[in-house]
Every structure is written in structure tokens, then in C-alpha cells.
Amino acid sequence: MTIRTRFAPSPTGYMHIGNLRTAIYEYLIAKRHHGQFILRIEDTDQERLVEGATNVIFETLKTVNIDFDEGPGKGGEYGPYVQSERRQIYREYADKLVELGGAYYCFCGKERLEQLRSECESAGKTYRYDGCCKNVDNDLAFTRVKNGENHVVRQVIPTGGHTTFTDVVYGTITVENSELEEGVLLKADGLPTYNFANVVDDHLMKITHVIRGSEYLSSTPKYNVLYSAFGWELPIYIHLPPIMKTKDKKLSKREGDASFEDFINRGFLKEAIVNYIVLLGWNPGTEQEFFTIDELKQCFEVQGLSKSPAIFDVQKLRWMNSEYIKRLSVEEYLQYAKPYFIQAGLVDIDLHKLSVLLKNRTEIFSEIPEKISFIKNLPQYDIALFTHKKMKTDSGISLAVLKRVLPVLQDIQQWSVDDINNSLMNIVAESGLKNSQVLWPVRTALTGMESSPGGAAELADILGQSESIRRLELAIQKLV
């Protein structure tokens, strides 16, 4: 059997993290077994469509190096791959399902349905359609449809018994048919509901493995009733646990939780995001934490999937991103960081040196401007910064140190990290002071910040001799 999986997003906004994880898992399951990965756009809910959202789907998959084998713009044997272009197919199969006894035409108007809903609410009952049109004679119903009478197509649910299916992650699940509603399959506008379209498309596109969120577990029995009514073989189900913000709250794009695009715009590397997302609900069975897509295609197995919800820990993602950044060459780092250097107004300094300084101190690129803002403009700072208990220094020691350092740095002929550092270490040796008692005042004078990337010599080298001298002189004036 050739494994065929599908990613079937609705273009209703940005690509949220749970949706991207599903796409990655579907891709990996197919590629691990040399199968096909299909992209299908499910745009039948016309009221929720967002302009440009389909392009976001394409661009996101391209960004994370997931290439679909069949889909919009690429074609394939089972297209079209956009549901709104398959309207006639759904009409054909809805009518066929009525003939098979798995569905019926419903002519109830909006007013009657609203009245029925109101009666259920008044009686304290869960609203369900009462099956009124189920008893309409088939020939009469077909004539009414042929005459253009407004209608929908509803699913027939067996009145007794139960529906059982097996999910790879959650095991065997059984639901009493009496708990299932005879929902709409084809709407009055001729477009299908998700419940109908996904079953028809998955069958016609020969999808062997259906991977989706666990929120669809409760709907799966209804899908299986459809498969049974058509006489079609069931796919293999793999339902994924939710990704949670906290143990009690799911990630939600409706509540503004970050999307993949948001994380990219904040300076996370796509490789780190993908790596982290894959591990949200999947255990490789080894101690390995870092994977490329190519490595995952070789080792991803569904047996590693968990049924427990995964907590999305931004701090863990930041750590993983910092590890990926450390693995970059200085040239690669500069390529990513340069827009942020420009944002910080830094165009007249050695950006290569700055990259060497920052590469192993960067968690996400968007924080760079704030970290290096002192380079362009020395902030207004309180002299209290020169007092630091752990560094065993205060304003008095700092003033004495800076007065001693200033002429030494002025006399350096070759301004470099090594020469600056050697000069400062000579002062430490000659004065009998601790390293921190010399380096802390110099670093503070150069940056005006409580914390900054790099040590005193590295920062002085970046700032240049004249600017470093100017800042030391300003600090001395503050401390006098």
C-alpha cells in the first residue's frame, strides 16, 4: 500500500502552531514510508475566508521546506484540490447517498428550524433536528428538488446500535448512534459542510492516513457512518492531542496566540520552530533533541506520538532557537542580524565584529536592537550603576579606576581587543584590585547599562578608541 496523507487547511487566517504541526506530521508520515503528501484547500466555509490566507499556507509550507506532491498549482490525478472547485462532485455524491439511503433531502425553512431550536431550549434539551423531512416520499422529494425547491441534504444516522473505530493514538473508541445528530451534508447554496466534503475528498483522493486534531474524535463516528453508507474502506485515523498554552488553556489564534509567521517576524529561525513543534507530542525514543527535516523523514514513527496534551513553552523555544543560532557561521549570523543592526541605526561600525560578539549571546534576533542600543546613543544612566556588591565595587573605586584607565587607553597605538584587554589586565596586576573592580566600571561607562553583550575590551573595540575615550570622560565627570 502506498501511503497517502493530506494537509487540508481552511484559508481563514494565519498558520497557527497546531495547524503547522499537523502538516509536518502528515508530511513526515508519508515521506518516512516513501508515500505522497497532498495539499487540499478546504474553502467551503465562505463566510470565514480571509483574503490572502491561501498564499500564507503556500508560503509557510515553502518556508519550512515541505513540498507537496499534489495540490493547487501543481495538479495531480485527483484534482481539483480546492474544494470550492469541486461543487459538482459533492452534488453528485450527495444525490448518490440519498439513493443509497444514507441521506435525505430536507426542505425545512429557517423559521421552522429556529422554532425547533427554541422549543428544545425551553425544554432544557440539546437541539437536534427532529427528522421531519426524513419521512417525505423519495419520489416526491426528488421532484421537489428537480423543481428547484430550496433544500439541504441531511445524513441518515442508524437508529440503534453503535459505531466503533480504532485510532492509532487513542485506541478503540465506541459511540452510541443515538448520540449522533443527523447533520447537514450539503447546504442550500450547494456547498458541502466539512463533515461531508472531507469524507468524499479523502476517499476520491485515496487518502490512506487521516491525521488531524483530537477535537475531531467526536465527529469521526459520523464520518464512518458515511463511509459505511457508500461502502467505502475506512482510512487509518491518527488524532493528535492539543497544544496547550497552560494545562487548562489551549493555544488559540482567536485569542491572539502567536502564529508561525509571528515567530519568524520576532526573529526565530524556521529550523528551530519546526524542530520544537515536532517534539510537541512526539518522542523519538532517544536522547536526541535536534533534528533536520531530512533526519526526521528517516526516523519519524507514529509509535512515538503521545495522547497527552503538549504545553507550548516559549522559553524552551527561545533556548532551542539560541542553540540553532550558535550553530550558524558568523557570516550566516550576520545575514540574519543585519536588518536588526540597521534598525538600531548601526551602519558605520564593523558588523562582522559585532556579529562575533553577539552570536553566542542571541536568543531571538528581534531583541538585538535593544541589546545594542547603547552603541549609537549612550543612555542617560544613574551613577548607582557603578556600585555593585557582587563585583566588589562602588562609585569611589569606580572613579579611581576610570581615572587610571583613561590615559592608558588613550596611549594605545593599535586599537584591538587584545591590546585593550592586556592594558586593563596590567592595571589589575599593578593596582592589586580584582578583575571585576576594573572591568565593571569600564563596561558601565561604555554602555550605561546594567547588562550588555560582551566584556569591557570587546565593547571598547566595537565603539572605537575616540568614542570609548569620550564615554570614559563622561563617566568620570558624573562620578566626580
Cis geometry, peptide bond prior to residue 309 (ω within 30 degrees of 0): no
> 85-112 burial, b if ≥16 CB within 10 A, otherwise e?
ebbebbeebbbebbeeebbbbbbbeeee
Of 96, 187, 245, 253, catalytic = 253
Whole-angstrom distance, CA of residue 214 vs CA of residue 199: 17
Handedness of CA 211, 216, 218, 221 (dihedral sign): negative
Whole-angstrom distance, CA of residue 295 vs CA of residue 292: 5
Whole-angstrom distance, CA of residue 300 vs CA of residue 293: 10
**Order of strands, sheet of 249-250, starting from the edge strand that comes earlier in the sequence:** 249-250, 243-246, 310-311
Q: Supply the angle between the helices 395-410 and 465-479 in degrees, to the nearest 10.
A: 150
Whole-angstrom distance, CA of residue 168 vs CA of residue 309: 16
Contact residues for 395 (Cβ-Cβ < 8 A; gap 6+): 383, 384, 386, 387, 479
Q: Rounded to the nearest 5 degrees, what angle is found at the Cα of 191, between the Cα atoms of 185 and 192?
A: 30
Region of residue 287 (phi > 0: left; psi between -120 and 50: alpha; otherwise: beta): alpha
**Whether 404 contacts 422, CB under 8 Å:** no
Residue position matching grid coordinates 462532485: 89
Is 253 assigned a catalytic role? yes
Q: Rounded to the nearest 5 degrees, what angle is found at the Cα of 379, between the Cα atoms of 375 and 385?
A: 110
Q: Supply the angle between the helices 314-326 and 270-278 in degrees, to the nearest 10.
A: 130
**Whether 193 contacts 183, CB under 8 Å:** yes
Handedness of CA 22, 218, 109, 147 (dihedral sign): positive
Task: Characterize the bridge pairing of strands 184-186 and 249-250.
Answer: unpaired
Catalytic residues: 253
